[in-house]
Structure 1
């Protein structure tokens, strides 16, 4: 892809390739699967040599097609663990949205990338991402800067701590009454005055996705409530990561992080460390 003066940008293909090379470097000897890629928002363009031609006169070889938004995942199936009876496997991936870049700016302007490492729940393909496994607004001007940033993220990510935190969620449960109260507060949060919201931990899920959480509380084959109406926090967390599948590529990763942070806040409240948790008060 090119900006107005035909300066080349870092392509989505180069982004995937650089990340895959970093994964092979950091996880030597492990089985690494082919990247899975999803694209959206097709943009029709042209090769630089045809920049002054009328659209009707373009030949097929002069036409180009790229996608404004792309997300990919690289699974490492030999790195896995069991949590709550579900197998989790390590995944690395990224998001590139050209709409976040100022393509009409001066040459050399940093481009935006999102890179993550976490676990995929194999029973449902829900993605579990932790704060230290995400570069949410990574800005670089070259492939080498991109490569070094991905390597640093992969080497600093503490997968064992992440797994311990996820496993701990299986030991905490909400009663049906607590779940109902919490969901009610979640729906109220979206309509609070701005000043009140600033005093409460943020929740990025709107009414439609909260409705999905409630529906799956009753119906989900893997994460529904127990017979007495209670639900452990591992299942509760997965209700949110399941609802997150309806998010746009741009907001998917921030909401994934928010789901885990929000669940940790509920865990702290149940543990007595956060007695003033607004959602359960």
Structure 2
């Protein structure tokens, strides 16, 4: 693995002619959106008791972009890639009695309950196992987590992350040291401080070293088959039995995608002898994670890293791992 420096002066530089929106980083139940669309065409929810607006999704994206551009002012920051889901539809009062099929566009209102975005910095990059990775900052906002029946000043919920995107497949590589899953703020100023804190405390070199370490460990076909069988069993086990086992947040459909791509993925499929290094296994899971809903995307991304790290630790110490043969 090549050396990475956060000023972009070394490492594998990637051409910046591909926007962040070239491929979706999240697919399930989402549609693509632009910042202009969210800012100019979507309503902003309010707190019911005083009619004060929440921190809008467009403000969240713009604020994060401003902080990123300040931190990485000598780097290329691509336009945000945005995914939205769960539309909340309405209409203006003048059209309240119209049949739905007769509504004109200007008579309709809409906002989306859930939103995720990423900002890619392609000039800060490195390569693992032949896969180019670029530094990426992102966030998630789901209005359903906020108490909109209260007054302005109650905590609003956000999720923040910084990590690397695999440009071969747009898989997001995140870990707990670069993530704030349960961020609660009451103002734009508090949100700004949280964004600054997560970027300034993130150790990119350490994260890359850990990801690169996955390439040094492999499982054979029998071990992979055992792991998949155990993963399917895990979904149906009583909660009491799960308590002492490594957590796995991926469901049957996603485990099925891992198996499918074990045979078919152009970048991460098995070797001729059926073996698979842990970097490929990790990317099979992060690839399956793109079928998650927005509100489960970050949790499953972190779980993919922790799950594969647990396998590596067991192999390193000859210890036990319930999912391994």
Q: Same fold (TM over 0.5)?
A: yes
Q: TM-score range by the shorter chain?
A: over 0.9
| 1:15-70, Cα deviation, whole Å (9 max, x unpaired) | 001100110121121111111111111212478xx6xx883389976753211111
Q: Secondary structure at the match of 2:178?
A: strand
Q: 2:312 aligned with 1:267, yes or no?
A: yes
Q: Secondary structure at the match of 2:317?
A: coil
RMSD, matched Cα: 1.8
Corresponding residue for 1:97?
Answer: 142
1:8-87 maps to which residues of 2 (within 5 A)? 8-45=53-90, 55-56=96-97, 64-87=109-132
Corresponding residue for 1:277?
Answer: 321
| 1:170-227, Cα deviation, whole Å (9 max, x unpaired) | 0100011111111111111111121110000110001110011011111111000001
Query: Is residue 262–residue 284 contact of structure 2 (8 Å, CA) maintained in 1?
Result: yes
Q: 2:173 aligned with 1:128, yes or no?
A: yes
| 1:110-162, Cα deviation, whole Å (9 max, x unpaired) | 11101111111011111101111111111111111101100000000111000
Corresponding residue for 1:226?
Answer: 271
Q: 2:248 aligned with 1:200, yes or no?
A: no
Deviation >3 Å, runs of 4+:
56-64
Q: CA deviation at 1:107?
A: 3.0
Matched residues in 1 for 2:309 and 2:249: separation?
A: 15
Corresponding residue for 2:18?
Answer: none
Q: 2:151 aligned with 1:110, yes or no?
A: no
Residues 181 and 236 of structure 1: is their aligned pair in 2 closer, same or farther, counting only changes over 3 Å? same
The equivalent position to 1:181 in structure 2, one of 198, 214, 226, is: 226
Q: 2:133 aligned with 1:88, yes or no?
A: yes
Matched residues in 2 for 1:150 and 1:226: separation?
A: 41
1:153-172 maps to which residues of 2 (within 5 A)? 153-172=198-217
Q: CA deviation at 1:250?
A: 0.5
Matched residues in 2 for 1:202 and 1:44: separation?
A: 37
Q: Secondary structure at the match of 2:154?
A: coil
Corresponding residue for 1:214?
Answer: 259
Unaligned runs of 5+ in 2: 1-43
Query: Is residue 77–residue 121 contact of structure 2 (8 Å, CA) maintained in 1?
Result: yes
TM-score for the superposition, normalised by structure 1: 0.93
Q: Secondary structure at the match of 2:323?
A: helix
Query: Is residue 53–residue 152 contact of structure 2 (8 Å, CA) maintained in 1?
Result: no
Q: Secondary structure at the match of 1:75?
A: strand
Matched residues in 2 for 1:131 and 1:245: separation?
A: 18
Matched residues in 2 for 1:54 and 1:36: separation?
A: 33
Matched residues in 2 for 1:211 and 1:252: separation?
A: 17
Q: Secondary structure at the match of 1:145?
A: helix
